[in-house]
Structure 1
Amino acid sequence: MSSRPGAVWPLVAVFTAGYLASYLLPTIVGRLSAQLGLSPAQAGLVGSALLLSSAGAGFALAGRVERFGPRASARTGLVLAATGYGFAALTGSVPLVVLGVVVGGLGSGTATAVAAAGTAARPDPHRTSSLG
């Protein structure tokens, strides 16, 4: 993120956006079960795919944020999250909802990895983490 001492809020905003996967999980599972006709187990499996894609992106990118550049990585993650979750919200087809959820999860994981790397690089990472 930014190397300026006072530039903490963009980091907190990216971290919050990255946590959309876990924030949206109950809503997504409920919608899949109630509105799209999936059983609770099937809806939970889709929710697990969301969290797995988010965690996979986070693990894959956490050590590579500096190589790709934090701004480019954050922008890519935010675009993927907005596109995936938006697509999932606007479609009624179960396979397309699953695809949108997985893409959104990849974006959330990417944003979280960027924010975590940015927090760790701060002079006082505990204070930044507490602020977030």
Structure 2
Amino acid sequence: MSSRPGAVWPLVAVFTAGYLASYLLPTLVGRLSAQLGLSATEAGLVGSALLLSSAGAGFALAGRVERLGPRTPARAGLVLAAVGYGFTALAGSVPLVVLGVVVGGFGSGTATAVAAAGIAARRDPHRTSSLGLLTVSATAGVLYLTIPHLGGGHRLPFAAIAVVALLVWPATARLGGATG
């Protein structure tokens, strides 16, 4: 991973897209409960599936990012997040929602693992990780303030996460390729 000063913003962008679902989890779980008629426990299990899938991707990928290069796994993670959360936004049944959440969570975890590995390789990782946390907090804050005014249901928050993943895609061009 490069520690060039100009390489900070792509890492922060990928981190934001990868970590956003975790930040919005209380809203996601609450809206799944209301929209699909799930109990709080059942909706919480769906949220736990998202987090478990994300963590699984992180554990599987974290040690391999340097060898693979950050660009390809970041792009794969963003695509999986966009497809999974986009699918979840369109799904109306619990099994399809769970499938979408697991795919999206795996994508989120992949993007977060790539960003975290890149941030850790920086000369000043604390500053970069703080910037990443501030950026994802600001993005989640905007969504928390905006989404309730646009309607209820689970579709909008999941669609918003998918759109953020797509918007971050161009930043991956600034990430390095495989090292060999």
Does residue 1:113 correspond to 2:113, yes or no? yes
- Shift, 1:3, TM fit: 4.4
Whole-Å separation in 2 of the counterparts to 1:63 and 1:21: 23
Match of 2:83 in 1: 83
Percent identity, aligned pairs only, is 89
- Residue correspondences, number: 132
Deviates more, 1:81-90 or 1:15-24: 15-24
Unaligned runs of 5+ in 1: none
CA contact (8 A) 2:3 2:123 kept: no
| Superimposed CA distance per residue, residues 2-54 of structure 1 (whole angstroms, 9 cap, x where no aligned partner) | 54322211110000111022123122212221111111111111111111111
Would the aligned equivalents of 1:21 and 1:54 in 2 still touch at CA under 8 Å? no
Q: Distance in 2 between matches of 1:75 and 1:53?
A: 17
Provide the rounded CA distance (Å) in 2 between the counterparts of 1:130 and 1:47: 25
The 3-state SS of whatever aligns with 1:64 is: helix
Distance 1:69 1:7 in 2: 14
What amino acid is aligned across from residue 87 of structure 2 in structure 1? F
Give 1:62's aligned residue.
62
RMSD: 1.3
**Counterpart amino acid of 2:117?**
A
How far is the alpha carbon of 1:131 from its aligned partner? 2.2
Q: Deviations over 1:70-112 (max 9, x none)?
A: 1000000000001100100111011001000010000000000
Instruction: Spell out the pairing of 1:31-46 with structure 2 (5 A cutoff).
Output: 31-46=31-46
1:52: which partner in 2?
52
Q: Which amino acid aligns with 1:67?
A: R
Q: In the alignment, is residue 131 of structure 1 matched against residue 137 of structure 2?
A: no
> Following the alignment from structure 1 to structure 2, what is the Cα–Cα distance between the partners of residues 84 and 38?
20
> What amino acid is aligned across from residue 111 of structure 1 in structure 2?
A
Answer yes or no: is the 8 Å Cα contact 2:80–2:107 preserved in 1. yes
